Each structure stands twice: as C-alpha cells, then as structure tokens.
Structure 1
Amino acid sequence: MPDLSRIGERDKLKPRPGDEPYWQRLRQGCYVGFRPSRKKVGGTWFARAYNTETKRNSRKRLGDYGTLSGHEIFKQAKLDAEIWAETVESGGERPRTIATVKDACIAYLQEKPGSIAEGVFRRHVNHDPIGLVKLDKLRRHHLRAWRRRLEETPALVSRNKIGQKQTKKRAKSTVNRDMVPLRAALGRVIKPGEPNTDAAWQEALRPFKGADRRRELYLDREERKSLLDASDSAANPFIKALCLLPLRPGALASLRVRDFDKRTRSLTIGSDKNGKPRQITTPQSISAFLAEQVDGKASDAPIFARSDGSAWNKDAWKYPIKEAVKAAGLPAATTAYTLRHSVITDLIRARLPILTVAQLSGTSVAMIEKHYGHLVRDDAEEALATLFI
C-alpha cells in the first residue's frame, strides 16, 4: 500500500482498473484515498468510512485540492477524511441541504433563531459571494476576502426625515460583532482546519484585539430624569424602564405581559443576547410601574408598546430618544445603550456584587469586570484609605 503522504510516491501511481482509488488507512474504519488523473498531474482525493448501521463502507469524493500545494494537500485530505468519518460514525453524513455557507446560516437560524444573526446573514452573507461557497471547498482566503468586504462596508448611522441614509466607517468593534454569527454558524457544521494553512477558515474570523472599548458616556440620575421629562408620552414608559432596569433595549422591547407576575413581582426575560431565559425579582416601586404597563392588556401583548400597539425596535426607539436628548440638552451621543450603561454603573457603585449585576443584566462576570472593573478598583482604593492610622 503506497504512502499517500509522500509526494514522490503519489506521482508514480498509475490509474487502476475501474478508477479505484489507492487507499491509506488512517485508523480503524477510516481511510483516505487518491485516484491519479489520466490526463494531468495530480488527481482526486476520497474518504472511506465504515458505517456500523448499514454494515457497509461509505465513500465520499473530497476533490483535487487545486488551491493547495505540496504537503498541504495530504494534510487537508487527511483532515477532511477524518471529519467525514466522524460524521458517519456519529449517525450519518451532513444533510445534503447544508451544502453552502448560506445553507449553514439558514440551518443555524433554525436551531438558534435571533434577530441579530438574521440581520447579519441578510445584509452580509446571503447575497455575498461567500454565501455560494461550498462548505467542502471553504478556505481561509474565501473568508479573508469576505472580511475585507465587511470592513469596507459603511455602517448605517441613521436616516434623516426624507429617508436619506447617513453612514460612517465601520468600527473594528462592529466588525467583531458582525463576524460572530457567521463563525458560530460555520462552527456547527465544519471543524476548524489545520492551523496556519489555507484550510484554517477559522483564522480569518479572529476578532480585532482591543476593539471593544469601554463605554464612557454616563448619565446620572438627574440627567436621566431630565431625559424622561423631555420624552413624549408614547416613548416615556419605555425610556423609564431603561432607566430602571439594566436590560438591553432589545430584551426590554421583547417583553410580553405574560412575562410579568404581579404576585411574585418577578419578570422573566426570555429573549436576550445570550439566548438563555432568566428571571429577576423587582422591588415594589418597579413592580408597581410594571403593573401599570400590563393593566388591561392581553397576555401576548408587549409590555411596552408604541402608540399603534406594536413593540418597540431599534429603528423606532432611536428617534424619540434622540429628540428627547436634544430637548434636554444632553450629550448628542446619548443612546438607549447609554441608559443601560448608566444603570449598571450605578449598581456597581452601590457595591452590588459583580456576579449579581451580571445576572441582572444578562451578561458574564468577565464582561462586567472588563467594562466596569475600574469602578470596583476605585471603591477598593477608597475603602483602603479609611484604614490609614
């Protein structure tokens, strides 16, 4: 049996009767095969695996790896054969419907539906050349090209009253966030490639380091009250809730009447960035405010609704907030997320344990420490100062 990892031995191979490949055993039940071409240098690679359910060998054509050269060809063929064999051994081949990058994204949304991922796929994958790339052919250079296109795409800031778009250069932190859904979708159907090779697709999606800057704009309670006083009646309850709870605006907007239990004063946040439902108990003052919002509404109605009864979304809440910010004379950079940041800052300043703050806000302790750890250090310094004799 020839050693297919040796280029010289492969080059000496002649086509076999019936175009049967030359096989090399990788482990029990797993083989990589090579069929030399009759017309040109090189040939086609195959994988073979034993299927315990059918009691037969299954075979898969891997291709010619025309974009690779030298020893990289065997390394990639070996890796692909092992991955495919593991798929066969664990219950079957990847469904034929998941053939391209776009298919992988659609399958991901079916398993983990979410507006953020859906938006990224719709804007940057589905109609982009990357969407048509076959998963079996996906290489690092495909995703590097996609990443360049993503970085060069201006980010939408807003639309003015006559519908004209206002854009800005896409920030590195935005690029990092936009790469997350695609990285997750691909990671569910293909394994990472050999490091430092073109097969290492995952390397092209590494995030920029140090791009996620700490939020600096903070509104104190008086400034938040001024914002509330300046907001219109339709947006006021939603903005007030942002000032009372450390929730993401999207999670707050998705709350339904059934998510609030008046008897226990508990609020269930079922739709959030981490995808895991959580429950928080509200104090009497906030509970009374929530009770006013749900009074007389159907169980599936939004707790915080717009004037037409529909739920708030980012395209709807930013204009009332922007107008209230201007009317109250607050910094123009103030957004809905500024309120979340301000509430979390106050909770940290009130010396609430970081773990509790993380649980309330639906984020990790690591993220709280990263963005708000300086507040804890400042408090620690003040506490130590009281010990001086």
Structure 2
Amino acid sequence: MSKTLNEAALSTPNARKALAEGNHWRGINADVHLGYRKQKRGGRWMVRWYRGDQKYKQATIGTADDGKMEANGADCLSFEQAKTRAAKVASQARADEIASADGPAPTVGSAVQDHIAAHDVRQAARGESKRDIRVRLTKHVSRSRLATIALHALTESDLGKWRASLADGLASATVRRIVNDLRAALNAAAMKHRARLPAETMMVIKAGLATVDAETAQARDKAALPDADIRRIIQAASTVDSDDDWGGDLLRMVLVLSATGSRFSQVKRNAVADLQIAQNRLMVPTSRKGRGKKKASHIGIRIGSDVLEELRPAIAGRRGKEPLLERWRHKQEKATEDQPPRWVKSERGPWLNATELARPWSKIIKLAGLPADTVPYALRHSSIVRQLRAGLPVRLVAALHDTSARMIELHYSAAIVDALDDLSAGAVIPLVATSEDNVVRLRNEGRR
C-alpha cells in the first residue's frame, strides 16, 4: 500500500455529522478498511480490502444509523455492526477468490457427484453394481438448495436446515444413511480441495452432520427371532427352493446368513476355499465398512454339521477361488408357434445384490407364517442375541459379527441384561435369618 491511511472519526452519529461530504475510511486491520460515504441526506457504510499490487476491491454493505433510522443489524447498521459486517464481507470475498483461483469453486453438488463417480468406479472394480448411494444422494442432496452452496461458504446452519428437512416422511435409519453418505462426500471434497478452502471447513462438516445419540440408540434385539422361527424360515426356504427350481442355491444362502449372522455383502464374497470342513468352520470375509483402520481379511465362524452337509454340494469339484454361493441367471426365449415366450436358465454366477433375495424372501416369510415386515437382516439380529443369551462375552460376539462392542452394547442391551441376570443369579445368597439361624451354639471351654 502506497499511502498511509488517514483515519476518520466514524464511531458515533455526531462524529460522522461533522465530516464533509465524500468518502471517509477507518482501518479494521492492515488490509481491510471500513468506509463511510457522507451524503446530503445520511450516509452509507462501505468496505474495501487489499488485493495486492496496490489494488483494492470495494463494496457497499448498508445504511448508517445517522439519527433518522435506528440500527437493526440488517439494512441499517451501527458502527460496531458495520465493522462486523465489513470483516465478514471481506473474508467471504477473499474465500471466494481463493476457491475460484483454479477454476469454478467446488460446491456441495460437485462434491456429491465426485463421490458418486468414485463409488461407481470402486463398485465396478469389485464386479458389483450397487446404485443405492447414487439414488439417495441424487434425490435428497443434488435436487436440494444445499447442492448450490459453495463448500467455502458452507455453514453448520445450512447443514442443520437440510438435515431437518429429511426428518419429514423418512425413517430415522434412512436419514442416517443419507447423512453418512453426504458426510463421506463432503469430507472427500474437503481433503481434495483443502488448499482452496478455509481451515474450518472440516469442522463445519463434522459439527453440522454430527450424529445425534438419541437417533442411533435403537433396540435391535426386539427384531431377533426365536430359534423355532429360524428353523421355520429355513424349512420354508427349502420348499421355495425346490418349488422354484433354485437347485439348492436359495437354501444355501439363507442357511449361511442364519448360521453366521453375517451381512449379505459379506457372505456373497465367500469363496469355496473359505469353507473349512475339517474344522466345521466358514471363513467369512470382513465387511468393507469403516475407514482408516486395519482389519483381518476374514472372520472364522463355527457352523453346525447340518449346515456343513448342505454346503458340501456347493464345493464338490470346484476350485478354491470360485464363489461359494452362486445362483442361476435367466434369459427370455422368444415366442414360437408352439409356445409363448419363457424364461430359461442361462448361466451361473455369484449373487450380486441383496435385492435378488427380495422376491423369494417374501415367499419364504409367507410360507413360514411370519409377519410380512420380517426382513433378512433379522437373521443377523437373531444370531447376535442368541450368542449373548448363551453367555458369550460381548467382545467375542462383536468380533464374530464384524462390529464393535459399543454397537452391541448400544443396540442389544436387553439381551446383555438377560445374560448377565442369569450369571448374577448364582451370586444371590439368603440374607434373612431363619428359625434355625437363631440357635446359639455355646463354645466348649472345658473344665477348669
């Protein structure tokens, strides 16, 4: 800056009244100045900030409270309000310049699109085609006002208002999935563009999308099924498998889900070599959930000899790296003069998505006589609750189900209490004296 700033008295209406018409400035810091433009009828506040190379940029920020109007913090500002507004405008303008220095400033919408594209690439590399993240983020973020906000201008209030809008008509579990998807997208963008974003961007994302404990503490042990119902599901799966010509593929999938309590996304990746017959054990691949922590590639889970016998046909004459659980793909044959179009078996391949289980599952549940809203994930809940009630340590149950002890304690507390209640019952002793306890035995002191 080539000239020394001549600071004017701007702090009170009376001080400003004594000024001549024209522009007057006062420094907020070395590079930002608060200005006052004196006019015949009142005045207006301005701000200018240094851009380098002896150049400034200037903007009007509001009307001054020169006596005819009272300051309201919106369009009419006092001196202190004008100082605050000036600093904010200058800071935002500089952030805009930095964010746009190497191209268009990244927005929430661009962060979402980049995240979806990266997710699609990962899924393609795994041979999967999972579209649920794309559907959720496109519907609830890309089409909202939040998508238009630049990352450097994003506030906790913006994220809070968007999150509050989700609660209308959506289940809490669905809201959590959407929030988690957006958090991952924004964190990835914040890391990628960190040189162009304010230092507090990561904290804004963390605070604005923070998990609410009251939302997550849902009791899942109520979704667990009795062992008798699990057996009915398996029997129904065997019937549906036979009736619909699944060739054992459907029964084996339901059996593995029931016996291991693992997620569909895990068991579908099981290979033939993962079935260890001599040890009555299935090595289940760990989930791809979580970030930044090293995990073992598989979890060893003991299975019953009955389950093992049902799985033997799936490994006979097959290589160890081939998928353990497969199913037939079908294609439609064109109609002929003798018969209408029909679906016929085409080729075998691994299960791809949990949605492939939806249609046969509804038949299984109906045949088993269970409520229509019973979902396959109930098999996982049932496995966890069964082990807890059997007295297995919480940490072991968590490890066998590829989750944390904290999540087990948070969601399956009733089952833990039942198990601990049985253990603590052994430590109960009679505390009220009986008639026999009132007999006082004299000590034999002997004759003197």
SS of residue paired to 2:355 = helix
Q: Corresponding residue for 1:214?
A: 219
Asked if 1:171 corresponds to 2:167, the answer is: no
Over 3 Å counting, the alpha-carbon distance change for 1:99 and 1:226 in structure 2 is same
2:266 corresponds, among 231, 251, 266, to: 251
- Structure 1, residues 31-52: CA drift from partner, whole Å, max 9, x if none? x75696999744466899xxxx
Over 3 Å counting, the alpha-carbon distance change for 1:192 and 1:387 in structure 2 is same
Over 3 Å counting, the alpha-carbon distance change for 1:290 and 1:8 in structure 2 is farther
Asked if 1:260 corresponds to 2:274, the answer is: yes
**Match for 1:378: what amino acid?**
D
Following TM superposition, by how much is the alpha carbon of 1:105 offset from its aligned partner in structure 2, in angstroms? Answer: 2.7
Following TM superposition, by how much is the alpha carbon of 1:271 offset from its aligned partner in structure 2, in angstroms? Answer: 4.0
C-alpha distance in 1, partners of 2:107/2:415? 47
Superposed counterparts of 1:1-389, under 5 Å: 24=29, 33=32, 41-43=45-47, 70=81, 73=85, 96=103, 99-108=106-115, 115=130, 117-152=133-168, 169-188=169-188, 189=190, 192=200, 203-212=207-216, 213-215=218-220, 216-231=222-237, 232-233=240-241, 234=246, 235-253=250-268, 255-257=269-271, 260=274, 262=276, 267-274=283-290, 277-278=295-296, 279-283=298-302, 285=304, 292-295=313-316, 302-308=323-329, 309-389=349-429
Following TM superposition, by how much is the alpha carbon of 1:136 offset from its aligned partner in structure 2, in angstroms? Answer: 2.0
C-alpha distance in 1, partners of 2:397/2:371? 26
- Structure 1, residues 311-343: CA drift from partner, whole Å, max 9, x if none? 242322122212111111113221011110000
Over 3 Å counting, the alpha-carbon distance change for 1:229 and 1:173 in structure 2 is same
Following TM superposition, by how much is the alpha carbon of 1:135 offset from its aligned partner in structure 2, in angstroms? Answer: 1.1
C-alpha distance in 1, partners of 2:61/2:407? 41
Following TM superposition, by how much is the alpha carbon of 1:269 offset from its aligned partner in structure 2, in angstroms? Answer: 1.9
SS of residue paired to 2:283 = strand
Unpaired runs of 5+ residues, structure 1, are 17-21, 26-31, 49-56, 153-168
Given that 1:306 and 1:312 are in contact with CA atoms closer than 8 Å, whether structure 2 keeps it comes out as no
C-alpha distance in 2, partners of 1:290/1:37? 83
Highest Rg: 1 or 2?
2
Following TM superposition, by how much is the alpha carbon of 1:214 offset from its aligned partner in structure 2, in angstroms? Answer: 0.9
Over 3 Å counting, the alpha-carbon distance change for 1:222 and 1:201 in structure 2 is closer
Over 3 Å counting, the alpha-carbon distance change for 1:108 and 1:43 in structure 2 is farther
| Aligned residue pair count | 339
TM-score of the aligned structures, taking structure 1 as reference length: 0.67
Given that 1:98 and 1:104 are in contact with CA atoms closer than 8 Å, whether structure 2 keeps it comes out as no
**Match for 2:327: what amino acid?**
R
Following TM superposition, by how much is the alpha carbon of 1:137 offset from its aligned partner in structure 2, in angstroms? Answer: 2.4
Over 3 Å counting, the alpha-carbon distance change for 1:237 and 1:134 in structure 2 is same
C-alpha distance in 2, partners of 1:187/1:81? 23
Aligned Cα RMSD in Å? Answer: 4.9
C-alpha distance in 1, partners of 2:85/2:186? 22
C-alpha distance in 2, partners of 1:310/1:266? 17
Unpaired runs of 5+ residues, structure 2, are 38-42, 63-72, 75-80, 124-129, 191-196, 330-348, 430-448
C-alpha distance in 1, partners of 2:311/2:223? 27
Given that 1:248 and 1:272 are in contact with CA atoms closer than 8 Å, whether structure 2 keeps it comes out as no
Over 3 Å counting, the alpha-carbon distance change for 1:206 and 1:281 in structure 2 is closer
TM-score of the aligned structures, taking structure 2 as reference length: 0.59
Over 3 Å counting, the alpha-carbon distance change for 1:251 and 1:332 in structure 2 is same
C-alpha distance in 2, partners of 1:65/1:321? 63
